[in-house]
Amino acid sequence: MSPTQPPPKLLTSLPAYQTLQSIYTTQKSTPTLTLRSLFDKDPQRFEKLSRAYESTYGPPTQLLVDLSKNLINDDVLEALLQLAKEAGVEEQRDRMFAGEHINTSEDRAVLHTALRNFGDSPSLAPTSNEAGVSEVQEVLSHMEKFTEQIRSGEWKGFTGKPITAIVNIGIGGSDLGPSMVVNALTPYTQRSLRAFFVSNIDGTHIAETLRECDAETTLFVIASKTFTTQETMENAGTAKAWFIAAAASKLSDAKKAEDAVSKHFVAVSTNTSSVTQFGISPSNMFPFWDWVGGRYSLWSSIGLSIALMVGYPNFRQLLEGAHGMDLHFKQTKLEDNIPILLGLLGVWYGDFWGAQSVAVLPYDQYMSRFAEYFQQADMESNGKSVTRGGERVNYQTGPILWGASGTNGQHSFYQLLHQGTKLVPADFLAPCTSHNAPRADDPTLHHRILLSNFFAQTEALAFGKSEVEVREELGIKEGSGDTQKEALVKSKVFEGNRPSTSVMFPLMTPATLGALISMYEHKIFTQGVVWGVNSFDQMGVELGKVLAKNILKQLGKPEDVKGHDSSTAGLIHYYQKFRKE
Ligand SMILES: O=P(O)(O)OC[C@H]1O[C@H](O)[C@H](O)[C@@H](O)[C@@H]1O
C-alpha cells in the first residue's frame, strides 16, 4: 500500500452510517419513506431528484437520471452524501485519475480513464509517470489504420479476398465488453462484416463458430490481457490449427499456409513475448498496459473488434462519450454527481434495507447484453469480503447483478419484482427514439408500446395497487365472509414502494453508450470506496483455476483420481465411466 493511502475504515465505523441506521430503524416502525406519500407531499419531487446530464466533451450527449422513485428523502440523501465524504470517495477518485497505485494488492495504477482522454482535459490526466500512457494515441492510430484497411477491403486474406468475418477469441473482460458494445451499436456496424465472439472452453463454442467461417475471409482477433488464459489460448490454438489446415489444402504448401497466419491472426495483449511465441508478429499486435483492468479494458485495444465492426470514428465517439462522463464524475459536486448518487443508493439498499441484488433492465433490444457485461464489471469488482487493509467486513458489499431487456423480463421474472418477498432495486434504461421503424403504416408504433411498458413498470412498482382499489375493482366489500374471494383480493394487491431508477436518453449512439458505461463504472468505484474494498483485483477467481489444472491431469484413469473429497472424486469417476473417447 502506498504511504499516502491510509487503510480504509469499516463502513460501520463511520458516523454517517449510524445516522442512516437510525433513519432506517425509525422509518421501519413509523414508515416515512413511502413513495406514495413522498410524491403526494412534494409536487416538485421529480424536479428535485432527477439529474440531467449534458456532455461537455465530444458529441452532444444527454441522459436523464430520475432518482425520485427511490426510498429517499432529504435526510437520507444528506446522510448518504455525508457517508461519501467520510469514506473519502472524492479523495480516492482523485487518486485514481492521478495514477496512484490504488490497486494495492497488485501494486498497480487504475487508469482506464486515461485511455479515453485525448489530451484535451489535462486536469484528468495522470500525474504519475505510468509507462504506456504516452503510447495510448499511438496504439489508437494503429487501430485506426488497421480497421480502415479491413473495412475497406484493402487488407486481403491469403487468397486475395477481403475479410468478411471477425472472430474475437477472448473471455471475461476480453470478451464481454467488445461483444456487448458490438451488439449495442449494431445500427453502426458494417453489415458486410460479421462478428463472432468465442469465449467458452466448451469445444462447442469454437466448433459452431468455425462452421460459420471461411478461412479465406476470416480474421481472428486473439484478445487476452495476460495471453495465458487457458480458455483463450486453447481456443486460439484450435482456430490456428483449423486455419492452417484449410490454408494448406488450398495452397498445397505447408510453409505458405504457416505464412498465411499473418494475414488472418492479430493479437491484443500486454504480453508481447507470449504473443510472439504463439506465432503472431509484433506488427500484428495491439498492446495495452497492466494499469488497464480486464473488466475496464474495452476502451483499450481490447476494443479492436468494436472498432472493426463500427469503424474507428464511432469507436472514438464511444471513448469521447465515456470521457464526458469522466469529466462529470471528476468535476461535479457530490449532490449532482450522478455516478456517486447511484453508488450511494446501492449502499442504502444493500447495507440498510438488506437488498441482495440489483436488476438492470434496458428497454432496448440492442442492450440485451448490458446486464451480462455489468455482472463482471460489478460482481468481480466489489464481490469482496475483506477491505484494502485486510479487515473482514461486517456488512454487505457488492450486490448480485442481473437483468434482461424489456419487455421480455416482464413475462418472466417481474412477478417477483412486483409481489415477491425480496426487495430488488432496479435500473430501467430506455432510448426516446428507436433505430428501427419496422412498420410502414405506423413507424413508431413498436417503440411507443415498448416505452409505455417502460413507464408503466416503474409506476406500478412504486405505487402498486392498494386493497381498497382491488376491492373497488372487484366489487368485494371488506369482510365479505367469502374466503375464496378474500384470498383473491389479497393476491391482487400490489404493495408498491419498490424502488427504481429510470435512465433515459434521446437515442442509443456510440457516445451515449460510452457515457452510460462510464457512469456505471464510476458507480461501482464509488461503492468500492464506501465498502473499503479493492475493486480492481480478482483473487476469488484463482482457486478454481488451480484445482482445474490439477484435475485435468487426473481425468485419464480412475486410479489417478487422488486428493479429493468423496463428492468430487465420485463425480470424476462417474464421468470416467460414461465418457466417450
Ligand atoms: O484478458 P485475459 O488475461 O485473458 O483475462 C480474461 C479474464 O480472466 C480472468 O480470470 C479474470 O477473472 C478476468 O478479470 C479477465 O477479464
Q: Whose Cα sits closest to atom 9 in ligand 1?
A: 172
563 vs 550: CA distance, rounded Å: 10
Q: Is 134 helix (H, G, I), strand (E, B) or coil?
A: helix
339 vs 479: CA distance, rounded Å: 49
Give the confidence band of 54 by pLDDT, cuts at 50, 70, 90.
very high
Has 205 been annotated as catalytic? Answer: no
319 vs 132: CA distance, rounded Å: 18
pLDDT > 90? residue 169: yes
Are 82 and 143 found together in one domain? no
Closest ligand 1 atom number to CA of residue 293: 14
Are 380 and 507 found together in one domain? yes
Per-residue model confidence as pLDDT tens digits over 373-399: 999 999 999 999 999 999 999 999 999
Mean pLDDT of the chain, nearest integer: 97
539 vs 552: CA distance, rounded Å: 21
Are 171 and 305 found together in one domain? yes
Q: Tell me what the mean pLDDT of segment 562-571 comes to.
A: 97
Are 151 and 89 found together in one domain? no
Q: Whose Cα sits closest to atom 4 in ligand 1?
A: 224
- CATH number, domain containing residue 404: 3.40.50.10490
Are 529 and 570 found together in one domain? no
Domain count, the chain: 3
Closest ligand 1 atom number to CA of residue 176: 16
What are the E-state strand segments in 192-275?
194-198, 218-223, 265-269
Ligand 1 binding pocket, CB closer than 6 Å = 171-174, 224-226, 229, 232, 294-295, 380, 538, 541
How far out from the chain centre does Cα 316 lie? 19
Ligand 1 pocket test target in 226, 234, 374, 537 with most atoms within 8 Å of CB: 226
Task: Evaluate whether residue 276 is within a structural domain.
Answer: yes
Helix extents (H) in 434-565? 445-463, 467-474, 483-492, 510-531, 542-554
Centre of ligand 1 to C-alpha 170, Å, is: 8
Per-residue model confidence as pLDDT tens digits over 242-270: 999 999 999 999 999 999 999 999 999 99
Are 529 and 550 found together in one domain? no
Ligand 1 pocket test target in 105, 168, 225 with most atoms within 8 Å of CB: 225
Centre of ligand 1 to C-alpha 19, Å, is: 39
Ligand 1 pocket test target in 174, 379, 543 with most atoms within 8 Å of CB: 174
Centre of ligand 1 to C-alpha 430, Å, is: 30
Are 160 and 258 found together in one domain? yes
| CA angle 475–480–485, rounded 5-degree value | 65
Centre of ligand 1 to C-alpha 520, Å, is: 20
Has 161 been annotated as catalytic? Answer: no
Are 148 and 296 found together in one domain? yes
Task: Evaluate whether residue 137 is within a structural domain.
Answer: yes
Ligand 1 pocket test target in 541, 546, 547 with most atoms within 8 Å of CB: 541
Are 193 and 259 found together in one domain? yes
pLDDT > 50? residue 1: no
Provide the pLDDT for residue 427: 98
Are 95 and 179 found together in one domain? no
Per-residue model confidence as pLDDT tens digits over 219-238: 999 999 999 999 999 999 99
Are 158 and 286 found together in one domain? yes
Q: Tell me what the mean pLDDT of segment 419-428 comes to.
A: 98
394 vs 384: CA distance, rounded Å: 12
Provide the pLDDT for residue 479: 87
Closest ligand 1 atom number to CA of residue 170: 4
Task: Evaluate whether residue 478 is within a structural domain.
Answer: no
Give the confidence band of 3 by pLDDT, cuts at 50, 70, 90.
very low
Q: Whose Cα sits closest to atom 13 in ligand 1?
A: 172
Q: Tell me what the mean pLDDT of segment 120-138 comes to.
A: 93
Give the confidence band of 5 by pLDDT, cuts at 50, 70, 90.
confident
Closest ligand 1 atom number to CA of residue 538: 12
Residue range(s) defining the domain that contains residue 557 = 540-578
- As given in the structure block, the three cell numbers for residue 270 are 500486454
Ligand 1 pocket test target in 175, 199, 227, 229 with most atoms within 8 Å of CB: 229
253 vs 244: CA distance, rounded Å: 10
Has 231 been annotated as catalytic? Answer: no
Are 395 and 374 found together in one domain? yes
**Cis omega (within 30 of 0) for bond into 407:** yes
* Beta bridge partners of residue 501, listed in sequence order: 427
Centre of ligand 1 to C-alpha 318, Å, is: 23
pTM metric for this prediction: 0.97
86 vs 102: CA distance, rounded Å: 18
Task: Evaluate whether residue 128 is within a structural domain.
Answer: no
Task: Evaluate whether residue 3 is within a structural domain.
Answer: no
Provide the pLDDT for residue 480: 86
Q: Of 48, 256, 422, 545, which residue is the catalytic one?
A: 545
Task: Evaluate whether residue 126 is within a structural domain.
Answer: no
Q: Tell me what the mean pLDDT of segment 290-295 comes to.
A: 98
Helix extents (H) in 269-337? 272-278, 304-310, 312-331
Provide the pLDDT for residue 29: 87
- As given in the structure block, the three cell numbers for residue 197 are 465472439
- CATH number, domain containing residue 567: 1.10.1390
Range of weakest confidence among 66-80, 191-205, 470-484: 470-484
Q: Tell me what the mean pLDDT of segment 466-480 comes to.
A: 94
Q: Tell me what the mean pLDDT of segment 326-331 comes to.
A: 98
Centre of ligand 1 to C-alpha 283, Å, is: 24
Pairing of strands 400-402, 194-198: unpaired
Centre of ligand 1 to C-alpha 175, Å, is: 9
Q: Whose Cα sits closest to atom 8 in ligand 1?
A: 172
Closest CA to 309 of 427, 398, 195, 232: 195
Q: Of 130, 380, 384, 521, which residue is the catalytic one?
A: 380
Centre of ligand 1 to C-alpha 263, Å, is: 26
Following CA atoms 247, 250, 252, 254 in sequence, which dihedral angle do they give, to the nearest 10 degrees? Answer: 0
End-to-end Cα spacing for the chain:
51
- How many other CB atoms are there within 10 angstroms of residue 377's CB atom? 25
Centre of ligand 1 to C-alpha 238, Å, is: 19
Share of the chain above pLDDT 90, in %: 97
126 vs 339: CA distance, rounded Å: 21
Q: Of 41, 255, 333, 411, which residue is the catalytic one?
A: 411
Task: Evaluate whether residue 322 is within a structural domain.
Answer: no
Task: Evaluate whether residue 565 is within a structural domain.
Answer: yes
pLDDT > 80? residue 321: yes
269 vs 300: CA distance, rounded Å: 10
Per-residue model confidence as pLDDT tens digits over 506-550: 999 999 999 999 999 999 999 999 999 999 999 999 999 999 999
Q: Tell me what the mean pLDDT of segment 106-111 comes to.
A: 97
Closest ligand 1 atom number to CA of residue 171: 6
Provide the pLDDT for residue 4: 59
Assembly ipTM:
0.98
